[in-house]
Chains A and B, each alone.
Chain A
Amino acid sequence: MSDLLRRLTEARGVSGNEDEVRQLIIEEVTPLADEVRVDRMGSVIAYKKGTRSNKKVMLCAHMDEVGFIITRIDDNGMLKFATVGSIDPRILPSKRVRIGDKAIPGVLGIKAIHLQEPAERERAVKVSQMYIDIGAKNKEEAEKLVKPGDYAVFDSECVYFGDNKVKSKALDDRVGCLTLIEALKSSYPFDLYACFTVQEEVGLRGAKVAGYSIQPDMALVVEGTTCSDVPGVDPHKHSTRMGEGPAISIADLASYSNKKLVSFLIQCAKNANIPFQIKESISGGNDAGEIQRAAGGIMTAVVSVPCRYIHSPSSVADLDDINNTIKLVQEFLKGCEAI
């Protein structure tokens, strides 16, 4: 698992530019599925035919990650950029990125503190104040390496550290992709559609068309979600807590989980002695929002791995939480047909 998670998180796949991670996922799922297709939006749909029933179950994890897009090259060879997906600009200065198909290295730069006006120092840093430095002498040199419209992605290696923890970019939602790949290793009575969606971070777009085209009987979304169990945060704002198991969502801003699926997930966890937690916030949203409202409506639920420092190059997750999420999804799949 640890090697596959490393490859998944290190693969580049900013929303709208998921080529590299898509290729990796296709290679991983092709031996496991009966049919693998890429839909018109670019999502990978791995289909595994059921052994006896015609019920359709959809698993969904998004393969895209937050990142950047180059908007302009200045005369001095510095690149201006915009964020793709939601990123707190305050975490950006001095972070490393890779740009374009050739993975050109760059650094996110900002004017030094002693050169900032007093008012600038007081305010949170904005994306417009920053640039990407690729070491180019001038615009002409920079243009040989990059062009406006190129995507940039956090340059961050996956590191296993501490007490069973992993640090990497894109744990949101490569942990979900990993869970789906693991699920494809078993056979099920029903037809399984494992969907690795595109463009979740820019508005649940891949899931919208995937949900519509598959119209499953039920869908389980596997996510990486916020975890704020850190110093200075009141317990009621933690959302999830690291190491306490997969987080089951009752509702968030995009979907209200189907109650039968939620009870079944809880029952699965209890029966198999898998630790779990109920997510203690309803902020944010994920692919379940679009899937639930596809066509005439679809039963959905969400299981998430808690991830600290999400949407940064150094998100952190607990390996037991990841393993227990994989287990919980497998337990769910064993019995969900009866729901």
Chain B
Amino acid sequence: MRELIKKLTSIYGPAGNEELISQAIREEIEPYVDEIEVDVMGNLIAHKKGNGKGKRIMLAAHMDQIGFMITHIDDKGFLRFSNLGGISVPYSINRRVMFKSGLAGVIGYETEIDSWKDITLSKMYIDIGASSKEEAEKLVKIGDVAVYHPLFSESNGKYISGAMDDRAGCALLVQTIKNIESTPHDLYFVFTVQEELGLRGARTAAYALEPDIGIAVDVTATGDTPKCRPMAVALGKGPAIKIKDASVLAHPLVKDLMISTAEKHNIPYQLEILEYGGTDSGAIHLSRGGVPSGVLSIPCRYVHSDSETIDASDMENGVKLLTKILEENIDFNDIGLS
């Protein structure tokens, strides 16, 4: 699992540019699934067939990461950019970035500014060491996208890297695909695109697949650091079963299915209420006439920075829980809520 997470977080794949990460995931899972395809939007969709007696389940983890889109190259060879997804100013100052080619850059800002509070993205630039526009244009063109430079660390049972959001979710799905021995369900594992730009890939994939149930796997924030915004989720206490965020109220049937499966198999879990943000289930549950949907979340500190931090045991338990959910029969009547 560690090696898988390290591999997936190191691969370039900002929103709208998921080709490389898509290829890497495809190579990981191809031997374990029945069919695999890439749709018009770029979603990677892997189908694992059931026995015809189960549900049609869409699992979603987004492949894309936030990034910096180059919008202008100045005469001195400095690059101006816009945010692609939720980039914040303080998390970006003097950070290192990487382009698809592997080219490195540093994010600087116009230092004539009096106060740090006045720094906006339009007053920042990327320095790729070029000394002229011509030199820069040989390496980068308008529309190219950089991501936080990947660097994986492990510390006391925690994994640290950029792009944990949501390569951790991708890794969880990949490991689940490998672990599932048999399933009654038709499983569609969708590695979605452009989640960070508004849940776009999940929307079209859900329309095309018409699932009975949708489950997204994504990171969520925690409330376990000094004087942080209060939130009842902590690293190491198990995968989080989402109650709500700003995009979705988890369907009670799906939420209770997750809880009852965790309890039945003694898998630690926690319940998550995220007061902001959203994930692919926000798009899936509103597809066509509606899809009962939930979210399995991976607690993560410092989300949308280059040092997103998760707990190794939460990943292991997340895989265990999702594998059990997908291997067993699902009869909503059994959990008394139909």
**A residues adjacent to B (C-beta < 8 A):** 235-238, 250-251, 256, 258, 262, 278, 280-283, 292-299
Q: Does B221 contact A (CB under 8 A)?
A: no
Give the complex CA separation of A93 and B135 in angstroms: 48
Task: List B contacts of A278 (CB < 8 A).
Answer: 141-143
Ranked nearest first, the 9 interchain pairs of A and B with the lowest CB-CB distance are: A250-B143, A297-B204, A296-B208, A256-B16, A236-B72, A236-B80, A297-B41, A297-B40, A278-B142
Instruction: Find out whether the CB atom of B82 lies under 8 angstroms from the CB atom of A256.
Output: no
Measured between alpha carbons, how far is A238 from B143 in the docked complex, in Å? Answer: 15
Q: Count the B residues whose beta carbon is within 8 Å of the partner chain — how many?
A: 26
Interchain CB contact (< 8 A) of A292 among B82, B200, B208: B200
Q: A282 with B203: in contact, given A236-B74, A256-B16, A297-B41 (CB under 8 Å)?
A: no
Q: Among the interface residues A237, A250, A297, which one has the most CB atoms of the partner chain B within 10 A?
A: A297
B250 contacts the other chain (CB 8 A): no
Q: A236-B80, A296-B204 are in contact. Are A256 and B71 (CB under 8 A)?
A: no
Can you name 16 A-B residue pairings with CB atoms under 8 Å?
A236-B80, A250-B143, A251-B69, A251-B84, A251-B143, A278-B142, A282-B69, A282-B84, A293-B200, A293-B203, A295-B204, A295-B208, A296-B208, A297-B40, A297-B204, A299-B40
Known: A236-B72, A236-B74, A280-B142. 11 other contacts (CB 8 A): A235-B72, A238-B72, A250-B69, A256-B197, A256-B200, A280-B71, A281-B71, A282-B71, A282-B82, A293-B204, A297-B40
B194 lies within 8 A of chain A by Cβ: yes
Are A297 and B122 also in contact (CB < 8 A) when A250-B143, A256-B15 are? no
**A218, chain B: closest CB distance, angstroms:** 9
Which A residues are CB-close (under 8 A) to B302? none
For the complex, give the distance between the alpha carbons of A238 and B194 in Å: 26
Query: How many Å from the CB of A51 to the closest CB on chain B?
Result: 25
**Would B69 and A235 count as touching, CB distance under 8 A?**
no
Q: Smallest Cβ distance from B245 to chain A, in angstroms?
A: 20
Q: Contact flags (1/0) for B54-91 with A, using CB distance below 8 Å?
A: 00000000000000010110100000101010000000
Question: A296–B143 contact, CB under 8 A?
Answer: no
Cβ of A30 to closest chain B Cβ, rounded Å: 33
Interface residues of B (CB under 8 A from A): 15-16, 39-41, 43, 69, 71-72, 74, 80, 82, 84, 122, 141-143, 194, 197, 200-201, 203-205, 207-208
Interface of B is mostly: mixed
Chain A residues near B69 (CB-CB < 8 A): 250-251, 282
Q: Report the bound CA distance from A262 to B142 in whole Å.
A: 13
Chain A residues with Cβ below 8 Å from B194 are 256
B82 and A281 form a contact (CB under 8 A): yes
User: Across the interface, which residues of A come within 8 angstroms of B201, CB to CB?
Assistant: 297
Q: Across the interface, which residues of A come within 8 angstroms of B84, CB to CB?
A: 251, 282
Determine the chain B residues whose CB is within 8 A of the CB of A262 once the complex forms.
Answer: 143
**What residue in chain B is nearest A256 (Cβ atoms)?**
B16
Bound-state CA distance A179–B131 (Å) is 41
CB distance from B206 to the nearest CB of A (A): 9
Which residue on A lies nearest to B19, using beta carbons?
A: A259
CB < 8 Å: which of B82, B142, B197, B207 contacts A283? B82
Least distance between A248 CB and chain B CB atoms (Å): 9
Taking a contact as CB atoms under 8 Å apart, the answer to whether B204 and A280 are in contact is no
Q: Which A residue's beta carbon lies closest to that of B209?
A: A296
Q: What's the Cα separation between A198 and B203 when bound, in Å? A: 23
Q: Point out the residues of chain B lying under 8 angstroms from A296, CB to CB.
A: 39-40, 204-205, 207-208
A293 to B15, CA, bound (A): 15
A238→B71 CA distance, assembly (Å): 10
Query: Are the CB atoms of A236 and B200 closer together than 8 Å?
Result: no
CB distance from B13 to the nearest CB of A (A): 13
> Known: A235-B74, A236-B71, A282-B71. Is A297-B39 also a contact (CB below 8 A)?
yes
B122 — which chain A residues lie within 8 A by C-beta?
A: 236-237
Set of chain A residues within 8 Å of B40, measured between Cβ atoms: 258, 296-299
**How far apart sit A256 and B142, CA to CA, in the bound complex (Å)?**
14
Name the residue of chain B whose CB is nearest to the CB of A294: B204
CB within 8 Å for A297 and B208 given contacts A281-B71, A282-B71, A292-B200: yes
CA distance A283 to B83 in the complex (A): 10
Which of chain A's residues have a CB closer than 8 A to the CB of B71? 236, 280-282
